[in-house]
Chains A and B, each alone.
Chain A
Amino acid sequence: MKLGVVTGVVWASKKVKELDGCRMYIIQPVSVNGNKTDAPLVAADPKNIASGGDMVVYVTSTDAAQAFDSGFAPVNASIVALVDEIS
């Protein structure tokens, strides 16, 4: 899992049914001190925990589908936690 900041939202009314009701966000991967690391990516937010500017934990690859209750969704990345603070 990696740290990222929510920088944008992707609106799509027509999507596969596995993604019904799930918002998609643009995530900028960041380091612990909040600096940019890799290129931005699109991540699903199946548990509805993120909003603009939030620092989040996201998971990539096949494991991203596990963030959905069904465990079955065509996503490459999912937001799994909201960061309150890093100590």
Chain B
Amino acid sequence: MIFAKVIGTIVSTQKDENLKGKKLLLCKEVDHEGNPLKAYHVAVDAVQAGEGNFVLLSYGSSARMTEATKNAPIDAAVIAIIDNVQVLHTVKG
């Protein structure tokens, strides 16, 4: 899973049958502190996330493993809305 910030919604009327009723979110990849990285992803919303939310994004075939996304032609899903990230330990080197 990767950290992301929801930066928008994709509106689409013509789409694959298995994407009907699913919200597509435009997500910018961020680090654990919320600082933006380069990549962005279009992800299916599985937790009613909204713009500005700090979220956890699952990618690849694993993204299909939720009730909301099974059998859908997708490779990214928003699977959690993050409240807080806590640093517990630092690895040297």
Contact = CB atoms under 8 A, between A and B. Distances in A.
Interface string A3-21: 0011111111111111100
Interface in B33-87: 46-48, 56, 58-69, 77, 79-87
Nearest to B93: A35
B90 interface: yes
B10 interface: no
Given A18-B66, A18-B67, A73-B65, A13 B2 contact: no
Contacts, number: 122
Interface residues of A, number: 40
B86 to A, nearest CB: 5
A36 to B, nearest CB: 5
A20 to B, nearest CB: 11
Given A9-B85, A9-B86, A74-B46, A34 B67 contact: no
Interface of A: 5-19, 24, 26, 28, 30, 34-36, 40-44, 51-53, 61-62, 64-65, 72-77
